[in-house]
Structure 1
Amino acid sequence: MINKNFLFAFCCLLFLLNCKEAIKTTFSDVTISTKNNDIVAINIPQAYGNETIITNINSEINKAVATALHIGEADSIPSISTEESIISFNKEYQSFKTNFPESTQIWEAQIDGEILHQSPEIICIAITTYINTGGAHGNLNISFLNFNSETGHLIPNENLFKNMDTFKKIAKTYFNETIKDNDYLFDSESFELPQNIAYNEDGIVLLYNTYEIAPYASGIIEFTIPFENISDILVFNGSY
């Protein structure tokens, strides 16, 4: 007969192992700044939990911040921390003031992040940035980051769906309905999916940033396709 104490200890060990494997990724909003910084404000989610998973997620969020604050060619964005990105942006502003002392332009940068959706299979985060370095208006941009909940790796848009062509056909009908009052600005025959596609609480949200498919006056275009209308072509389960 199996010793009862041994059986109890064995069950406890299995329980602890299962708990360790099931560590849930959680998020906390953090505000990041540096000494002598008064032009950059950053409030972003920071992941906690399994070390490998959260390292992947936090690294991609940091890359999004670095990209937003980078001044220069897009292909020369350095791999630096958020604090270093803030310092670099401030240095660029100081250089601008030195080179153009007569300018009264004050630079500013606001970066905010939010969790759009989180399930055991997928985590979706939106990063909203507003950068003003002069000109008629600042630049507002929203980026969606989709992560595999089990690995923390980014999920390309094409890997969100079992059949991308089918999804595109469905998305086009919702797009046409969204822009029907401004259809003169768009060529419905050349419809393309946006760069930003993600899960939210109600379904799959698609977002076109300003200038992505239309003039500045059209602003941001956003619409959501309910889960029940595309559940059969979704790769990831959005249920909590």
Structure 2
Amino acid sequence: MDKDTSFTGSIPETYERAMVPLLFIPYAIDMARRAAQRRPQRVLEIAAGTGAVTRHLLQELPDAHIVATDLNEAMLDQARQAVASPRVEWRQADAQKLPFPDASFDAVLCQFGVMFFPDKVLAFSEARRVLKPGGLYCFNVWDGISHNDFSATINHALAKVFPEDPPRFLPRMPFGYHDVDVIRGELARGGFSGAVTHEVVTASSHGESARVTALALCQGSPLRADIEARDPARLQEATDAAAAALAAKFGEGPIEGKMQAIVFTCEA
């Protein structure tokens, strides 16, 4: 597990407390509602993190059994504290080597995890393998960073803090996989030869303040490791610079910015 996919240390707690309400709730609600239209009884969630989607699946699918997985055991530990239900089974699992039999789920869901998979075709083929015929694979990815206000602002601010070697985690990983033609091609190579649709979904991100928003992104994601790789003593300086840039653009109090993602739905 490299630093781009390692959600360890203090990251899971900061992620759950700050990142989930900042970025993930609108899209978690959207994904759970899309899944509910199919009324699946067995659902596999990949890269479940701290359970942002899981808790909404419990509301939208009152009779379903949910297996929620993540590569990072530390994130699952945090998720178990946030979401407690006998209908949820938490499992550590690699999306590229799922420990489940063929055709064992009615739906496979993945919120903002695909971008982190080293071999996306292999991960797609594993999702296809564990789906029952006619099952649903639904996942979303962030659109380009220029369509996501807070992250774009922070990325620009960090480039000024480290002008010789700017942290590249944000444009490289979470915002680096949004070419629809590339994604459709890799889905086809992964075995999704049936109906594949995609939809651009825009939402609003609401931050408690510029400082809390900067803390969420700079210290509640692997961006932290990218900053510390340049100079671990400058993490707070980088966070302060990000907060100042957000405050200058969006204000000192509660802030609001645009988010944009692309949602894919695929038939097995």
| TM-score between both structures, scaled by the size of structure 1 | 0.29
Q: Which has the higher contact order (CA 8 A, sep 6+)?
A: 2
Structure with higher helix content = 2
